[in-house]
Structure 1
């Protein structure tokens, strides 16, 4: 069966209900706050990976689970900064949002539906969020709102999918369920089903609108979110390749339905997560993926430097769009490229954005201080500061086994017991164990040290891992990563074996041959 075809190449959404880019003084009679109240939010958000239990917590389940440490409510504030409110767990928590528009979108991720759970609320509303099986349900206290309209995502999940996995999720998510077996074949089948389910949902929305169950505003809002979900499917590599093959097999020209937005309406549309996703999608310019292989792990990413420069030159994007997209592009540079690129493009970012709040967030997130790029700055458990070079000098005369790790890194922590054994086996040797924590949080780092009982070794917290050329020069791209220095302070192995996986033999051989 072939996917549904349309002849309409482009649609323009005219939205009548969102905040402007500039700060607009509200009329005095108009409320300018939206109040959110969370009741007993979970500490950890967990969904079971079972076909019959989307979002349902079953204590005796042996199925695979998806955990989220954080899954708050995201919205765009009146200064066009994306904010996320993470309610305090197990208590009542409240947030007042300043807003100068008629409507505001609140969204939260729902792993199993492939579409964000979102709530469209009015200025002046007070919304109570209660949680059932980790899934928020909204209630507005100051006016009567149809529950189907307010909690539409939950309604569609039950009505169209019987609270089971949606076809939209399975286009991608069957990889996790089947373990990769027949992934591409299954994805195509689920994509075809997603096309059918798309048509069913459009019919459902039409019916809800006809019967005045949802407002015209909510109707267009839900419809466009669904349209953009279908566009995301088409961007998946295997779906994209399959559609291209299908097109080449046709004797007649296929005109795929392409959904887009009038970018002159950007200031109004920015409030909606699906529009921000759309901006990100079209600003990737179909750039080829870069494949990186780091031994046991790897990564795929586009060249965000090209993307950054292209966004700057793209006349389709106004100042509001560029303010948003340049930060997204820089995030890709910050994660995947060298320090010299991070520094060069950070200067470009400074020159081309007016969003100082977001700029400060980037500085904090990446701990940007390029004046110390030639050093690896460390902090001890006693909050003393020194550099990695000083650590090497302080340990002259001893061999060093250096472990780059982090409290959030599962394989790093799984290796810690073996590391302790290795240390005890070599206690009579002239060797020190040095642990360097990368891209970590200090409190979690300290707790992990205590948990693994390694405080009697040398422990250091890396302060500038994202902007240190020392990390690059050492070739550290993934963790755990191990180095061996001889007693003269020379690096003799930059890719040492792991504890319990040959490290003991390797160290003994090197020290014996010294």
Structure 2
């Protein structure tokens, strides 16, 4: 009997020992990865982000405030997770099924432990063969490049050297580059050879089961993206010269070809892998691919680089087909928005997309972000400038001026992508404060991307009641009549609503205060 009681007691003790408490610590029975967050800082959240996708061009961002929490991360997939706080730099990690990451923010320091693989280190692929090819490339590259001294911005020019952000920050000798485009072609050929070696290495590692196929796909996407980015960066030097081109095998110089050797450099079918470029990991790679195709159309202005992805959009069927073409077209439309291309051109491409594919997951984000403009597009009376803000559906500029209660109005035309516009905002707001209720101020953005406008509106701290976005800027007869094709631009209306000045002084002009005060009397 005593022996029986002893055995029963022993079994109970073992059972109790094996039983886990009801806590956040996960076991390896999880199929999903798990991230345990322990935030010990008040008012400073831990920020966890994933990669953007074709369905959602913005990263999903999760904020974890003071306390302990557990996040279950995806199911049965390798992925990239990015973790930071506003007092700690971003850390990018490769996370796999059954991984457990522990993230602690304590004493202003972010500690990450557990099954951690640093993506920035992991994605670097080095073999003796790759190193040999890259050394040849670097020797050529060094002829045209000199590193910059600290503190210089990427817009500074010194003699024949232009500071750009290719490789490390430094100066490129534009004149020498234009004289020796054959050497640039050789550099790009070496870049391609490096890419081929990386792709071969990744395939070997997948076959040897050193890489999970999904991780291999991600590494391939990064290798392609980096290659496309390099081609896009060099395009500014070679796209204007039609004498030097590469033939399709990319090894010899040949006669001029209409598409240019940069385009030839990316049209190899093995680089247009649908499995890689249509998947989530292909988002940034597809963007880089389109940058190269579009490079022959872009040009620089005083304040901005103008793009023409709407031209590239209609060339895509010559290069791609199937699902790859669909994703490339939807990505091109998103890029048109982010680069503020003319709205009529964007709508033309959107209409073409809908006629071929209908509304689907790839285009839905664009439709949601621009629903107001798309719904109004075909019913607009383009005689007047139509406006909208976050408080009202829409209002014409004429009706808005009439509603200003008999006061003069100072109208500030601006855009989120216009540095001089943003630079003038503090002066405009100071002028508004100084004049008090004598003059009404209205801020009208000509952004095509509503999200960019809203983001800048918040950053500048504009009041919702006097901040608007133009819905039909490119189509409005008012814009055409007043030749409103440059910003920043300032208009003044008098108390009766009559247009007083269509090229008024900027808000930092010493005379503008006296002028507005005089009109207000």
2:364 counterpart (360, 367, 380): 360
Find 1:298's aligned residue among 296, 304, 326.
304
After TM superposition, give the deviation of residue 483 of structure 1 in Å.
Answer: 0.8
Maintained 8 Å contact 2:228/2:292 = no
Match of 2:231 among 209, 229, 234: 234
Which residue of 1 is the match for residue 314 of structure 2?
309
Per-residue deviation, 1:176: 8.5
The answer as to whether partners of 1:75 and 1:271 remain within 8 angstroms in 2 is no
Q: Which runs of 5+ in 2 are unaligned?
A: 1-28, 85-89, 128-137, 165-169, 174-183, 246-250, 255-260
Which residue number corresponds to residue 467 of structure 2? 461
Q: Summarize the alignment of residues 54-133 of structure 1 with structure 2, pairs less than 5 Å apart.
A: 72-76=49-53, 84-88=59-63, 90-91=65-66, 96=72, 103-106=77-80, 119-123=93-97, 125=99, 127=101
Quote the residue 1:414 is aligned against.
426
- In structure 1, which of residues 328, 332, 335 is the aligned counterpart of residue 331 of structure 2? 328
Q: CA deviation at 1:462?
A: 2.0
Q: Which residue of 1 aligns with 2:441?
A: 434
**What does residue range 342-357 of structure 1 map to in structure 2 within 5 Å?**
342-354=346-358, 356-357=360-361
1:414 shift after superposition: 1.7
Distance 1:400 1:464, change over 3 A: closer
Change (3 A) 1:117 1:446: closer
TM-score norm. by structure 2 comes to: 0.57
Q: Any conservation in 1 of the 2:493–2:500 contact (CA below 8 Å)?
A: yes
Cα distance, 1:407 vs. partner? 9.3
Confirm or deny: 8 A CA contact 2:48 2:62 kept in the other structure.
Answer: no
Counterparts of 1:70 and 1:493, CA distance in 2: 48
CA distance in 2, matches of 1:494, 1:38: 56
Shift of 1:74: 0.8
Query: Secondary structure of the residue that 1:289 maps to in structure 2?
Result: coil
Deviation, 1:237, is 3.7
Q: Specify which structure has the bigger relative contact order, considering alpha-carbon pairs within 8 angstroms and separated by 6 or more residues.
A: 1
Does 1:183 find its partner at 2:157? no
**Alpha-carbon distance, 1:262 to partner:** 2.9
How far apart, CA to CA, are the structure 2 residues paired with 1:234 and 1:502?
A: 47
Cα deviations by residue, 1:139-172 (Å, 9 ceiling, x for unpaired): 666xxxxx5xx32414678x99xxxxxx99xx89
Closer, same or farther: CA 307–269 of 1 in aligned 2, 3 Å: closer
The 1:178/1:309 distance shift into structure 2, 3 A limit, reads same
Aligned counterparts, 1:130-209, within 5 A: 150-154=117-121, 177-179=151-153, 180=156, 181=158, 182-183=161-162, 186-188=170-172
CA separation of 1:432/1:509 partners in 2, compared to 1, >3 Å: closer, same or farther?
A: closer
Largest Rg, 1 or 2:
2
Counterpart of 2:275 in structure 1 is 267
Q: Which runs of 5+ in 1 are unaligned?
A: 1-29, 46-68, 111-115, 142-146, 161-166
Question: What is the CA-CA distance between 1:325 and the residue it aligns to?
Answer: 1.8
Using the alignment, how far apart are the partners of 2:359 and 2:53 within structure 1? 13
- Counterpart of 1:504 (choices 505, 509, 512) is 512
RMSD: 6.0
Match of 1:400 among 395, 405, 409: 409
CA contact (8 A) 1:372 1:468 kept: no
Question: Is 1:376 the equivalent of 2:386?
Answer: yes
Q: Is the 8 A contact 2:414 2:488 kept in 1?
A: yes
TM-score in terms of structure 1 length: 0.58
String of CA shifts for 1:28-78, please: whole Å, max 9, x gaps.
xx9875555566599999xxxxxxxxxxxxxxxxxxxxxxx998321548x
CA distance in 2, matches of 1:324, 1:392: 43
The one-character-per-residue Cα deviations of 1:96-126 (angstroms, maximum 9, x if unpaired) are 5655xx644326599xxxxx98655445655
Q: Secondary structure at the match of 1:344?
A: helix
User: How far off its partner does 1:266 sit?
Assistant: 0.6
Distance 2:239 2:300 in 1: 25
**C-alpha distance in 2 between matches for 1:118 and 1:444:** 30
Corresponding position: 1:483 with 2:496? no
> CA 1:74/1:422 → structure 2, altered by over 3 Å: closer, same or farther?
same
2:406 touches 2:495 (CA, 8 Å); kept in 1?
yes
How many residues of Structure 1 are paired with residues of Structure 2 in the alignment?
414
